[in-house]
Amino acid sequence: MSLLVVGSIAFDSIRTPHGEVEEILGGSATFFSVTASWFTPVSVVAVVGEDFGAEQLRIFHDRSIDTQGVEQVPGRTFRWKGEYTGDMNQAHTLETQLNVFESFVPKIPPAYLDTQFLFLGNIDPVLQLNVRRALPNLRISALDTMNYWIQGMPEDLAKVLATVEILLINEGEARMLTHQGNLKKAAAIIQKLGPRVVVIKRGEHGATLFGPESIFTVPAYLLDEVHDPTGAGDTFAGGFMGHLARTGDLSDSNLRRAAVYGSVMGSFAVEEFGLDRLLRLTPEEIESRYREIKRLTHFDA
Amino acid sequence: MSLLVVGSIAFDSIRTPHGEVEEILGGSATFFSVTASWFTPVSVVAVVGEDFGAEQLRIFHDRSIDTQGVEQVPGRTFRWKGEYTGDMNQAHTLETQLNVFESFVPKIPPAYLDTQFLFLGNIDPVLQLNVRRALPNLRISALDTMNYWIQGMPEDLAKVLATVEILLINEGEARMLTHQGNLKKAAAIIQKLGPRVVVIKRGEHGATLFGPESIFTVPAYLLDEVHDPTGAGDTFAGGFMGHLARTGDLSDSNLRRAAVYGSVMGSFAVEEFGLDRLLRLTPEEIESRYREIKRLTHFDA
């Protein structure tokens, strides 16, 4: 089934111990949609500037991503410059130019109004809520957020949280949102705010899914080298939501499979800079890594 | 089969956000032996002072732990005072009194000379090597160490590493030992130094086992409250080695089970101060938590 993502499209400049790239295609909607496109048809609502051209559009279209909702407006596209050092667990932002993203008002094309699966990427919670309300036929909506909104707009964030089924959030941000250091208690607090499924992303330690029926932990796949962690969280979300939308199955066992696909896709994302590895995948590679994570975690009862 | 541990016996004074205790029984050999005693017969080689009396001895004997190798000498027993704050991932040492532990020379009672399973707790690598060499019939020996020896006595540590089958080590110390940030590469470096099995302990994130045939990751069991992390690493080692000694089975699948028992026992250790929870266990509780970790990690292939 079709999956809609609302989020950012950006040009990223990134430095890591493995190299440096300038103005490559990035942003939450980009990483999410490219990833989810391996599982299900995807549509994007985002804003770009005049510097976004055929070259960028081709990346989406090569993955059969519907870009009707990508609005082009006067000005420059969102730019982010960041650096990773040491264990690369944390991005250090060197520069942020919001540009056209600053006045982004998501517009849902009429063709998308019957959308059943929605991912609200990390944007202003007021905009997230407007999108959520504009889509009456949703079966599953998932939300990402960050410290900036948790601290700056807690009431608006609470409103949109009350309307979604799934929250995907970083470990540190889950603690910040709930003022609770214990992850199990933090997840229980979030579940009372609305989302019955809370996926806590733990970087190189994988992710923990708190569902209505059970808790599930998936490790990160162990790589010989992490080249660029940018987009890993949105890529996890793309694999997770992509699998849910593909199957339409929200059972406990399928939520677990979705989290494993999230971890699988996140592991590919960080192997190379930007979208490089995600664009060059095959379905066989995805299934093979899924089995490798099975092998990494299996033990006899 | 019988399992021998060489390590410290200490009196610990501990402050955590959940309370404070004074001079309770602790030390690597203590946590290890009490834990492993749930799996197999255990013997201890350690040193204590004149302040170690019938009350402490009874704790070992109630768990049927053989204390022939616990030498009592003039002076005071090793004391450690520490504090945990915030997320409790790191102990802050407030005071260390080595006391009789400073001149500890492990003496192996004749009855132990045919020992087949050995755990060398975190002590001077020269002493570890002497113990290792004194036991000609070992099937499996495992070693723990810490930053102090890695930085201060790298050559002696390398010598003992070359003689053991298993290294249990913290994530940060594995990186320090190998000058390698990537855990997979760090484990491969360690495997070339001697141990064919490397268990990297990752605190609240569980542990990763690098075996000769495969890599296995086990999460930490998610608790509602961590009261006192002291001894969690030695408790993990006690469950791991206890299961290996009990079964005598070093297959890939049994190494995985052993790591799960390590995680199980570590999760009990931190539920209460010191040994309290470990002394009050039942075999049924251990098996039940093993199944809970299975449930926490299982997904369909």
**What ipTM goes with this model?**
0.92
Residue A301: is its pLDDT beyond 90? Answer: no
Per residue in B211-259, pLDDT (tens digit) is 999 999 999 999 998 999 999 999 999 999 999 999 999 999 999 999 9
Q: Which residues of B touch A86 (CB under 8 A)?
A: 181
Q: Which residues are CB-neighbours of B173 under 8 A, at least 6 positions away?
A: B145, B146, B147, B150
User: Residue A253's closest CA among A214, A200, A220, A285?
Assistant: A214
Name which of B183, B224, B226 is nearest A222 (Cβ-Cβ): B183
Residues 104-133 of B with CB under 8 A from A: none
Q: How far apart are CA A225 and CA A271, in angstroms?
A: 7
Residue of B nearest to A219 (CA): B217
CB contact under 8 A, A224 and B184: yes
Q: How far apart are CA A198 and CA A119, in angstroms?
A: 14
pLDDT at B88: 81
pLDDT at A206: 96
Range B79-90 average pLDDT = 88
Q: How far apart are CA B121 and CA B100, in angstroms?
A: 17
A186–B contact, CB cutoff 8 A: no
pLDDT at B91: 87
Least confident range from A86-100, A194-208, B15-29: namely A86-100
Q: How far apart are CA B79 and CA A223, in angstroms?
A: 41
pLDDT at A86: 78
Q: Which residues are CB-neighbours of B37 under 8 A, at least 6 positions away?
A: B63, B64, B65, B242
B295–A contact, CB cutoff 8 A: yes
pLDDT at A84: 93
B38's tokens: 């749930």
pLDDT at A90: 81
The helix or strand, by DSSP H or E, that contains position B286, with its residue range, turns out to be helix B283-297
Range B169-189 average pLDDT = 95
Average confidence score pLDDT of chain A: 96
3-state SS, residue B282: coil
B208–A contact, CB cutoff 8 A: yes
Per residue in A85-122, pLDDT (tens digit) is 877 878 899 999 999 999 999 999 999 999 999 999 99
Q: Which residues of A touch B186 (CB under 8 A)?
A: none
Per residue in B91-142, pLDDT (tens digit) is 899 999 999 999 999 999 999 999 999 999 999 999 999 999 999 999 999 9
Q: Give residue B86's pLDDT band: very low, low, confident or very high (50, 70, 90).
A: confident
Range A55-59 average pLDDT = 97
pLDDT at B87: 75
Per residue in A203-213, pLDDT (tens digit) is 889 999 999 99
Residue of B nearest to A181 (CA): B87
Strands A92-97 and A78-83: antiparallel
Q: Nearest-CA distance from A15 to chain B in Å?
A: 18
Prediction pTM value: 0.94
Q: Which residues of A touch B226 (CB under 8 A)?
A: 182
| DSSP bridge partners of B207 | B201, B218
User: In this structure, which amino acid lies at residue B5?
Assistant: V
Q: Which residues are CB-neighbours of B276 under 8 A, at least 6 positions away?
A: none
Q: Which residues of A touch B174 (CB under 8 A)?
A: none
CB contact under 8 A, B256 and A300: yes
B183–A contact, CB cutoff 8 A: yes
| DSSP bridge partners of A197 | A166
Range A138-158 average pLDDT = 96
A218–B contact, CB cutoff 8 A: yes
Q: Order of strands, edge to edge, in the sheet holding A66-72?
A: A66-72, A42-48, A3-6, A117-120, A140-144, A166-170, A197-201, A207-210, A215-218
CB contact under 8 A, B219 and A224: no
B152's tokens: 């201060």
CB contact under 8 A, A298 and B256: yes
Q: How far apart are CA A67 and CA A61, in angstroms?
A: 8
pLDDT at A85: 87
B180–A contact, CB cutoff 8 A: no
Q: Do A142 and A116 touch, CB atoms closer than 8 A?
A: no
Name which of A223, A259, A300 is nearest B253 (Cβ-Cβ): A300
pLDDT at B50: 97
Residues 42-61 of A with CB under 8 A from B: none
Per residue in B206-218, pLDDT (tens digit) is 999 999 999 999 9
Residue A31: is its pLDDT beyond 90? Answer: yes
pLDDT at B85: 87
First to last CA, chain B: 36
pLDDT at A88: 81
Q: Which residues of A touch B295 (CB under 8 A)?
A: 214
Q: Nearest-CA distance from B255 to chain A in Å?
A: 9
pLDDT at A246: 97
Domains of chain A: 3-297 (3.40.1190.20)
B207–A contact, CB cutoff 8 A: no
CB contact under 8 A, A298 and B224: no
CB contact under 8 A, B215 and A296: yes
Average confidence score pLDDT of chain B: 96
| DSSP bridge partners of B42 | B3
Name which of A218, A224, A295 is nearest B185 (Cβ-Cβ): A224
